[in-house]
Amino acid sequence: GQSLETVVELVEGMQFDKGYLSPHFITNPENMTVVLDRPYILIHEKKISSVKSLVPLLEKVSKEGKGLLIIAEDVEGEALATLVVNKLRGVLQAVAVKAPGFGDRRKAMLADIATLTGGQTIFEDLGLQLENIELSQLGRAKRITIDKDNTTIIEGAGNGKEIKGRIEQIKTEIDKSTSDYDIEKLQERLAKLAGGVAQINVGAATEAEMKEKK
């Protein structure tokens, strides 16, 4: 923007309280964040520790020249090490975060994220194997920002109708539920899906000024 005031606007998006699994993923050292533009998003319910199962997907994403956000129960061992090495060598800008929530609630939240980003949740009980995943099964978003505590997905590429349908489904569950705890958790999910996130636009006339203002 040409104007020099700082504007906060609400954009479509979702934030959850998990940060990057390694500080090596950081892309903006001055504010210790990871920012990925138009990345692919892998939504996986289980732990990922084997590199072999991950490599075919990393190669596909790398060919597209895009970044990759991996949301999984955990990413550990050689899988995490490989992501870090690829990032440090400039081969592939990837970042891994843990999935939010636990148990059935985690499954539901992963499905919310999948709906928001137009991806598919990789549930192994559906017979989906990581090594066979195609780019079309991954979510997309305009931008992702991650710090040590939070992941924010901005303008997911999900289908508006499907997102609305998901929101209605959660509202129905709230109406049917008799547990205060469940209602509270459902309302949190509803707020995340329907609420949007604040995006701060620092007004600056030039890129150089932009850097100074941050």
Q: Kindly report the pTM of this predicted structure.
A: 0.88
Assess if residue 1 is contained within a domain: no
Q: pLDDT value at position 93?
A: 95
Give one DSSP letter per residue of 168-187, joined into a string.
HHHHHHHHH---HHHHHHHH
pLDDT tens digits, 141-184: 999 999 999 999 999 999 999 999 999 999 999 999 999 999 99
With CA atoms as reference, report the closest residue to 96 among 111, 81, 106.
81
Q: What is the CATH number of the domain that holds 109?
A: 3.50.7.10
- The rounded distance, in Å, linking the Cα atoms of 110 and 141 is 15
- The rounded distance, in Å, linking the Cα atoms of 25 and 146 is 10
Assess if residue 45 is contained within a domain: yes
Higher pLDDT, 130 or 125: 130
First to last CA, the chain: 15
Assess if residue 119 is contained within a domain: yes
Q: pLDDT value at position 206?
A: 45
For residue 107, what are the domain limits? 6-213
Assess if residue 77 is contained within a domain: yes
Assess if residue 130 is contained within a domain: yes
Q: pLDDT value at position 33?
A: 96
| Overall number of domains in the chain | 1
Range list of β-strands (E), 74-124 = 74-75, 94-98, 121-122
94 CB-contact burial (10 Å; exposed 0-12 / middle 13-18 / buried 19+): buried
- The rounded distance, in Å, linking the Cα atoms of 94 and 70 is 8
In the chain, count H helices and then E strands: 6, 12
Q: pLDDT value at position 207?
A: 46
Q: pLDDT value at position 13?
A: 83
CA distances from 7 to 12, 14, 53, 175 (A): 16, 19, 43, 37
- The rounded distance, in Å, linking the Cα atoms of 173 and 2 is 46
Assess if residue 54 is contained within a domain: yes
- The rounded distance, in Å, linking the Cα atoms of 167 and 111 is 12
In which band, very low, low, confident or very high, does the pLDDT at 204 lie, cut at 50, 70 and 90? very low
Q: What average pLDDT is seen over the chain?
A: 90
Number of other CB atoms surrounding residue 136 within 10 Å: 8
